[in-house]
Every structure is written in C-alpha cells, then in structure tokens.
Amino acid sequence: MSTSPGDTVTLSLEEAFDLSRNALLGAGLSAEQAQAVAEVIVAGQRDECHSHGLYRLIGCAHSVRTGKVNPVANPVVVDTAPSIVKVDADFGFSSFAFNKAIPLAAEKARQQGLAALAINNCFHFSALWPEVETFAQQGFAAIAMTPSHSWVAPAGGTKPVLGTNPFAFAWPRPQRPPFVFDFATSATARGEIELHRRAGTSLQPGLAIDERGIPTTNAAEALKGAMLTFGGHKGSALSAMVELLAGSLIGDMLSLESQEFDAGAGAAPCHGELLLIFDLAKFLGGALNDNLARAERLFDAIVTQGARLPSQRRYEARQRSRKYGVTIPKKLYDDLVALINDHLETSDRAISERT
Ligand code: NDP
Ligand code: PYC
C-alpha cells in the first residue's frame, strides 16, 4: 500500500481484495458470500468503474447491518424448464447466487441454443458487465438486466417510479476480450451521484431534478429528488422493459416494491435479475466462424474511424491496475478501515459482555 500527497491511497489488487473480504466478513457475511461479493467489487475497482468499486463496501456493510440481507444465504439453483434456470438467492447478495447458477445456465444454453437465468430474492448493488463477460469468455453472447429502487422519474414525469435499471450485453470475439457494454437506463448510475456527493462536486446538467421537480446539479438535492432517464422517452421505455422482464416476468419485485420493502432502511435494492445466454454455435453451426468474422468487420468499421468500442476503456484500466494497483481517495480508504475497526470493536465488546 502507498499513500500520495494528492490524498489518495494505492493498493495492489491482492490488498484491495483482502480489504474488501475483511470488511465483508466483519459485517457478518459467510466466507463464501464474502468471497463472491469481494470479487465483484474488486473487479469494479480494477476496471476503474468507481461507482461500483470499493466504495460499495460501505453500502454492503450497511445493508447487512439493517438486518435485511441474509449474511448466511444459501442460494438454491432450480432447473425450471429445458431453457430456464432459476436461482433463489435466499435474500443474500446477487453475485453469490449468480456464481452458483453459471454451470447449469451454460449447459442449458449449449443444449437449447438460448437459456434464461432468473435470479430471485437477491440484494443487488453490482455492475452487470462481470456477469455477461463471464458468459462471453465461454463463447456465449449474453444480455443482463435488473431493476433497483424507484429513484428515476419517467420521461415527462417528476416522480420517481423506475429504477436505475442497468442493461448489459456481451459478444465473444476470437482471440480478443469480448465486446461488452453495460449502462444504467437512467442518465447516469446513482453510484456516480453518490460519489459526487461524497466529493462535494457538482453534477453535469440533465441528470436529475430536485424534490420540487426543478433541474439540479447538486448531488444531495438530486438524491432526494428524482434521477432522469437517458435519451428521454427511449431510456424511459427501456427502463420499463427492465422492470417487466426482470421483475414481473420472473415473479419478483419492481423497483417501486423494492423501495417499499426497504422501508427507509437504506439497504441495497432487493429484487430479481434476468440473464439471456445465446449459444452462437447452436444458432450458426458450420457458419459460426464466418459470422464471427462479419461481427469483426463491424468492430473494425467502428474503431478505424477513431471511435472506441464500449469496454475498451475498462480493458485498458484492467491492464493498468494489474501492473500498478488501484488508487482510491484516502477518505474512502479511511472509511473502510474504520468500518473494519468498528466491527472488531463491536465483536470485542460482545465477547467481553459474554465473559
Ligand atoms: P456509463 O454511462 O458510464 O456507460 C457505461 C458504458 O458505456 C460502458 O460500457 C462504457 O464502456 C461505455 N462507454 C462510455 N463512454 C463511451 C464512449 N465514448 N464510446 C463507447 N462506449 C462508451 O455507465 P452508467 O453510469 O450508466 O453505469 C455504470 C455502471 O453502473 C454499470 O456497470 C451498471 O451495471 C451499474 N449499475 C448497476 C445497477 C444495479 O442495480 N446493480 C444500477 C445502475 C447502474 P467503458 O466501460 O469501456 O467505458
Ligand atoms: O448505481 O444506480 C446505481 C445502482 C443501483 C444499485 C446498484 N447500483
């Protein structure tokens, strides 16, 4: 670990993982769940997706402390239909349940050509790209989507109804990392606004309105008011689709219901997630390689004019982080150490009260 005069701390990926795992174990998560959650958080920080990196540990610990998250969740994978897998996350964090369901979902996609994986009853705080990327690394194309809490006003409205509802896609590429995009259907992720609030910086215009429905660039006001969708009515409709497919279709909570279930506790959203996994070989048979090559033509036509592919920044950040470690604000590092120390003090006190 090293500190710099610029008030930042640099950690190796191993140190970042140990810090995360210790914070999660200290919060009371089982070893298996802490492992799965630490992995997704460190992956976010490693790829410089700051809104879903180490800062999320604070929210995870809080979510466990509220008593809502099941710290010893035991996800159960259910073979629901020839092309449908469901996993009941047992009110633990989604990543743990997702990991358990990967093998059956991949097997079904290979058999049927297309498989749906529904995660139910999960607390969800993470980025979706690690999940679609996992499937693309096995040669599949994949889509993922999930609701959140009702923080976002529909286009033309001022009251929060929709979640920030991310949508992610991955496409496998021969001898290259997959093509991946992953974004909220709100104009930005709520995590970005929370990072602005922590840093005391202003938002770009067009992201949110305050409680009176007036546009604001003040992060605290935006968090109290409503976020806006990206692309106006287009983001609004996509967001509603996410509510329907990753909520109603899989028998789980809408963002509105997740917010009600939270009842002011401030825990991570609790709902479901839907993934669709496509087996290219099953779709294309002997034409697989030709069509992968046609896809490469598309990517070439994008990058040769100077545009970049989504995920390119992330892959570059990944290389950097592997070499130099990850850099976070010193305030965040101090908050995380304080989180671990608080847990240690609480458990010391509990032991001395018992003896
Ligand atoms: P952004 O608006 O930053 O968009 C991210 C996507 O767009 C990435 O795939 C990114 O690639 C790509 N991108 C950005 N700029 C360009 C460009 N100039 N050219 C091409 N591609 C570009 O993300 P959001 O703030 O909307 O979301 C951030 C994260 O928050 C997501 O990972 C999402 O899953 C997560 N999230 C999770 C929620 C949950 O409920 N679990 C809710 C909402 C969001 P690259 O990464 O390479 O820059
Ligand atoms: O950043 O919008 C967000 C978010 C919601 C749940 C997890 N991340």
User: Model confidence over 162-178: pLDDT tens digits?
Assistant: 999 999 999 999 999 99
> Residue 1: its pLDDT value, please?
77
User: Is the beta carbon of 52 within 6 A of some atom in ligand 1?
Assistant: yes
User: Model confidence over 335-344: pLDDT tens digits?
Assistant: 999 988 877 6
| CATH 3.30.1370.60 placement within the chain | 73-187+228-309
Q: Is the pLDDT of residue 114 over 80?
A: yes
CA distances from 11 to 34, 54, 326 (A): 19, 11, 5
Q: Is the pLDDT of residue 325 over 70?
A: yes
User: Is the beta carbon of 129 within 6 A of some atom in ligand 1?
Assistant: yes
User: Is the beta carbon of 196 within 6 A of some atom in ligand 1?
Assistant: no
At 106, which amino acid appears?
Answer: A
Q: In what order do the strands lie in the sheet with 2-4?
A: 2-4, 8-11, 326-329
| Substitution site in 119, 126, 275, 313 for ligand 1 pocket (most atoms within 8 Å of beta carbon) | 313
Q: Match domain 73-187+228-309 to its CATH number in 3.30.1370.60, 3.90.1150.10, 3.30.1390.10, 2.170.150.20.
A: 3.30.1370.60
Distance from C-alpha of 196 to C-alpha of 4, rounded to nearest angstrom: 21
Residue written as tokens 């604070």?
58
> Residue 354: its pLDDT value, please?
59
Give me the residues paired with residue 84 across strands. 81, 116
Distance from C-alpha of 97 to C-alpha of 354, rounded to nearest angstrom: 35
Residue 192 Cα to ligand 2 midpoint, Å, equals: 9
Residue 178 Cα to ligand 2 midpoint, Å, equals: 23
Q: What is the mean pLDDT of residues 297-314?
A: 98
Q: What is the mean pLDDT of residues 303-322?
A: 98
The percent of residues in the chain predicted with pLDDT above 70, rounded, is 96
Which ligand is nearest the CA of 303, by number?
1
The alpha carbon dihedral of 33, 38, 44, 47 has a sign of negative
What's this model's pTM, rounded to 2 decimal places? 0.96
> Residue 193: its pLDDT value, please?
97
Q: What is the DSSP string of 285-318?
A: GGGHHHHHHHHHHHHHHHHTTT---TTHHHHHHH
| Substitution site in 60, 182, 298 for ligand 1 pocket (most atoms within 8 Å of beta carbon) | 182
User: Model confidence over 4-47: pLDDT tens digits?
Assistant: 657 999 999 999 999 999 999 999 999 999 999 999 999 999 99
CATH code for the part of the protein at 1-65+325-355? 1.10.1530.10
Residue written as tokens 């799965």?
36
- Assign 214 to helix, strand or coil: coil
